[in-house]
Amino acid sequence: MSEGANPTSKEELGGLEDSKFFGWICESKDCLGKMVWSRFKPKEWRETDVDIKVECCGICMSDLSTATSGWGPTRYPICVGHEIVGKVVRVGKEVKNVSLGQRVGVGAQSGSCLACEECKKLNEPYCVKGQIGTYNGKYKDGSGLSQGGYSNYCRVPAHFAIPIPDSLESVVAAPMMCGGITVYSPLKENGCGTPGFERVGIVGIGGLGHFGLIFAKALGAKRILAVSHSNSKESLARELGATDFLATANSKGGEDGFKKHARSLDLLVVTNNNADMPIHKYLGLVRPKGKVIHVGLPEDPVMPTPIGKLLATGAFLGGSMIGGTKLIREMLELTAEQKLRPLVEVRSMADANQTVLDMHAGKPRFRYVLVNQDHDLHQQRGGPKL
């Protein structure tokens, strides 16, 4: 099989070589806009793994924080990207959950012990031995480092490859593998739409927050408050499912809005990641014993805890990571059944450098997805040519 050839038969599909793996590589923390398309070394093959021919990969802010070592030292060189959708082209002998040629998605996690109490409940992000990220992770079986989906192929443990419903477009499914599940998980796990949790708020109407509005409505919330910096996104927020809107930059720092909506919510999900977010004001929006759940992670995550406000409101303040494989499957099925549509802008994989710069500048409305439009050409020749 030639260097740039596409697998076409079962024999070829089952025999992908490590030399076929190319991607956009970050070589240092100043790599934004300077990634280099080159060969990378995937994790060593295990019979519990699958190789995936990447059809598309969403861009997540986590990619940028990792690429720049914003969350701590990154293992360079690295290929980021953990909102991956593609076709399985190689299947390990011990794999039972996916089959050759099947379309699957991979999110932000690609490893855990699979033996602890949380893993057995398919709550893998909270594995007692720690989770392994789809990139910048080190596999505990000695098979090497994890590499992501700004690439032509990726290799992951099959347990974390989730079948995509046939009716769901790949470019819709891709950003849900991290962005979508990051918000779906706290909504679902905290009873959104069930008695006692029918009044829901979403803070931050961006890449994560717009998913929050979509899913809150789909899960049956009767009242949905969108909280944003200004009124510029009010019309869009209401189109996505919001019934009420609060602009925090209005007169007096939004005080009138915070007073109007005080104690009006059962559950509030905060998607912002700015270190100066007014947590004490958010706590005032939920009823006593209501919940405020944070999913946004600032690069400097240490913020003052408003103990006095917690005592005064009787509210619960917590956090949430992505979601386990069971929840991801459920989210994808709900999306397909209700024909939900996140706001996605498709870009060519060849334009990854410009796209991450646009992401850093806050330009997406609201998710970018990189598409391998001509997979055969994504090999050498100085980079992808489409």
CATH number of the CATH domain containing 15: 3.90.180.10
pLDDT at 9: 39
For Cα atoms 263, 265, 267, give the angle at the middle one, nearest 5 degrees: 130
Q: Which single residue is written with the structure tokens 């710069």?
A: 357
Q: pTM higher than 0.85, yes or no?
A: yes
CB atoms within 10 A of CB 94: 10
d(CA 16, CA 12): 7
Compute the distance between CA of residue 261 and CA of residue 196 in angstroms, rounded to an integer: 17
DSSP bridge partners of 370: 57, 347
Quick check: 115 pLDDT over 90? Answer: yes
Q: 115 with 226, same domain?
A: no
In the 8-state DSSP scheme, what is residue 327? H
User: CA-to-CA distance for 300 and 176, rounded, in angstroms?
Assistant: 25
Domain co-membership, 159 together with 183:
no
Helix axes 209-218, 325-338, angle to 10 degrees: 70
Output the pLDDT for position 14. 58
The one-letter amino acid at 363: K
pLDDT higher than threshold 90 for residue 107: yes
Q: Do 56 and 185 reside in the same domain of the chain?
A: no
Residue 159 pLDDT class (50, 70, 90 cuts): very high
- Whole-number percent of the chain with pLDDT over 70: 91
Based on the domain organization, do 15 and 151 belong to the same domain?
yes
pLDDT above 70: residue 384: no
Q: Kindly state the tokens that stand for 4.
A: 């740039």
Q: Which domain holds residue 297?
A: 179-319
b/e map of 159-188 (b: 16 or more CB within 10 Å)? bbbbebeeebebbbbbbbbbbbbbbbbbbb
Are 185 and 152 contained in the same domain? no
- With cut-offs at 50, 70 and 90, classify the pLDDT of residue 251: low
249-263 burial string, b = 16+ CB within 10 Å, else e?
eeeeebeebbeebee
